[in-house]
Amino acid sequence: MAIPTTLSIQFKCGHSETKDLASTPAGKRKARAFGLGKNYVCSRCFKASRSDDFDKYKQELLIQAQGFEEDHGLPELTGSEEQVRWATRLRYQRLTDLIEAAETHQPAFDAEHVIEVAKSLVRAGWWIDNTKEKDLEVDDLLTLITTAVDEDDLVATENPF
């Protein structure tokens, strides 16, 4: 008789789930299942608790970002309500990263100049599309912000063809 790889686990939250423990050696599966049930909550409860914590974090970050906007005279972003909330947080995170890096970065740059340029970038989509990656370096951020041309600033010909 084969030892089953999937076991039904009763979690400490009271819910039960079937988990695949194929990666656990056969002789340790029951002990692993017991440990999971005793020490953890089910996937659904885990996601719900993480979601609440993350929502609080995003709200606190948005409040800090709005204060930063007021302090530096940054204009409101344009876009859908969700885009504006997301882009406001991104803009705050990226600009504070640049302000902190301005003191030690070589070659030196003027953080106030970067903020002045950033004031012209009011489309939420630009901040989402260009700065959402967390591994952007200071040089990348400087290049993105200082060389950005807002699409609305481009003068196109009136000829539709």
Contact call for residues 17 and 42 (beta carbons, < 8 A): yes
Q: What is the mean pLDDT of residues 99-112?
A: 80
Residue 2: pLDDT over 90: no
User: So where are the chain's domains?
Assistant: 6-40, 45-153
Residue 111: pLDDT over 60: yes
120-143 pLDDT, tens digit each? 889 999 889 888 777 788 888 888
137-160 pLDDT, tens digit each? 888 888 888 887 645 555 566 666
Please count the residues of the chain.
Answer: 161
Q: How far apart are CA 160 and CA 150, in angstroms?
A: 21
Helix (H) or strand (E) run with residue 33 in it? helix 29-39
Whether a cis peptide bond, with omega within 30° of 0, leads into 75 is no
Q: What is Dmax (Cα atoms) for the chain?
A: 78
pLDDT, residue 89, reads 93
Q: What rounded mean pLDDT belongs to the chain?
A: 85
pLDDT, residue 160, reads 66
pLDDT, residue 73, reads 92
pTM over 0.75: no
55-88 pLDDT, tens digit each? 888 899 999 999 999 999 999 999 999 999 999 9
SS3 5: coil
pLDDT, residue 62, reads 92
